Amino acid sequence: MAGEAYGMSMDLVDFIATSPRVKQVTRGKEDKLVSKWMRMHPQATGITWITEKCWMYDHPKAGTVYSHGFLYPSTVAQVRMEESTGLSEREIASRGQSTKHASYSSVSRFKTPFRPMVHDLTAGESVESLIEGSQLSLLDPHHHGRGKPRRNPAELRAEVRQVYSERPSRKERFLNDERELGGTVVIHYIKKSEWFVETWLALLGGVEEEDGRVLPAQDEGVQVGKGVGL
């Protein structure tokens, strides 16, 4: 997506929080303002700037133009391979024909509220259904016409359980990198507590710890019973 995200050392955060000069410069886009504030620092020439290409996007349920499923290195590798080899006509048609396939997401649709495929997903199943390109996201009959014809709830629930049990491991999603480098850096537009918990579980792991819990299906928020931070 367009825009910038900054990671700053604590002394720079303190400067922004306490500088009288900074308080006079608060109108404008936040990414541009941060740059202005740094130039106002009394030791501006000594600030070290490092530019990174990070994966930044809106939460999968946001429904914005920048929204799509959670990304892992394996997903990006698949997308890059598709760009190199091209897509079949059948795959292009399933993703919305020539006008839409380039912005296709297996999870998110622009200006369309997200609906869970079933109303009793566990925390793990919910997160899995929000991972871009996951088999569970492709199973959802509500999105893009990719899912199978509507099944009765019992059949769909059984299929969800089966697909979830066959999901890739976290290690596989990080392309067997034990350090888990090369993943998502910023998730933007987290507007609800449930979305925060889903992001935490997707990026930091721990799905297995919460796997027996059921997240509310209608974005009512969720209480997890432990402190979390991203």
pLDDT tens sequence across 182-225:
777 788 888 888 898 899 888 888 766 555 554 443 343 333 33
Please tell me the predicted confidence (pLDDT) of residue 209: 52
Could you tell me if residue 125 is left (phi over 0), alpha (psi between -120 and 50 degrees) or otherwise beta? Answer: alpha
pTM: 0.71
pLDDT single digits (tens) 105-124: 888 888 888 888 888 888 88
| Strands of 22-86, DSSP E | 55-58
At position 92, the amino acid (one-letter code) is: I
Q: Which residues of the chain have pLDDT under 70?
A: 1-4, 93-102, 141-151, 207-230
Backbone angles phi, psi at 57, to 5 degrees: -160, 170
**C-alpha count within 13 angstroms, C-beta hemisphere, residue 8:** 17
Please tell me the predicted confidence (pLDDT) of residue 223: 38
